[in-house]
A and B are shown apart, each in its own frame.
Chain A
């Protein structure tokens, strides 16, 4: 089935639709006239230029494009890791680009789950402790924190590796721990920056299946940056960026 994505305005880009998940149609993420310019010395580098975008709730979107096209920058802006030079970002009705540093950090902790290319687990913590990490910022009692972390690891199929350190896990297992860490706070959006970039095909398929499961069964909105067409195929929508503009 082909989904209708809110996007009547002219400036909105036209995505490629895939026939997989069923977004609600309601735009959860709204970007308007986003510009992002980096200044290095006397040189200004425009990374994103007049970009507007609506992402519906429950969608699974892949962002593709050549290196330097601005896809990671776009992901960082949506995830609240960076701020646009100009333009507005509204997520669940909240203008995130206008939030202060502390409020933005709290918003990220509540709303966004992160999956990084190189997993970024803390090597001194076991799998379950890594997953528990985001809960340290909450008022969840320590006993419940551990239970929630164990549940998240069960969801990703690593209940038998809870007390292993990252060095004792394979790349695919590390990435699954990282996904468990991303969902332990029950965020509405998961952003994944090249989640399969460091994995072999088999492990990459496992991770992509897991992301699909999070999208279809747990109704998470997933935004994934990838270079891998096979990975992008698994998403509902594929958007392509080139020179800071959506094609």
Chain B
């Protein structure tokens, strides 16, 4: 595996291998005083974040450091990027400075793919930490890891993804990965927040959240930006949360074993009720914890071994 750009095209065997590695890493580090593994010693990992993000960046940084890699963080503001340097030039500069791996988050869909092309000669690996509305593969992997922990095997499970699917890279990555791993996905959203031709995706589509609740094994709530109201996507935050919010009442109609996930950050009271976020049925903090192990596993699969040139 040279890059991790997307979950689309990631086959079940590779995805499962990464998840298994993450599981083993978690177990290995459990209870340890020294939470460090020497495996990526001498490897240089650089995070390039063109969008503000604390949780994901910190997660990647910890993941790299726990594997003994040297991690350097570059943020868009206050750097040469703020002075107008192109994405390509920034990437080539970092590769020339010695980066073995660049972890990029960027507001433009396809940015990670373009980077992988520009860095091909340099041999630098690229990890997509979120490109525009396109993909966020490590989020989908940590969601899958969390679901595996709570539900066991994912094959045959029914997962609802609820909210602003149209603008969500988390939704796209999860649709690809969950269906690859054999789960059934139902997208729940008002028609204005669904992508064009979503009927051709390997999913079911529903506009009525309540109708889906009794039959799902997990509910994945997406962030909904209140500003979308101004684009006419929904009339008001009140109407949105009444129809599509994960309320306490809705939590009660979920099957006993069902789990609630959220990629964060949450808008309590909008897409998820405060009490639900804090309930033991919600696996949100577990997601964050798994995020570190999953990212360690991704770095292991990309950087620990010699890549066979294909």
Q: Do A and B come from one complex?
A: no
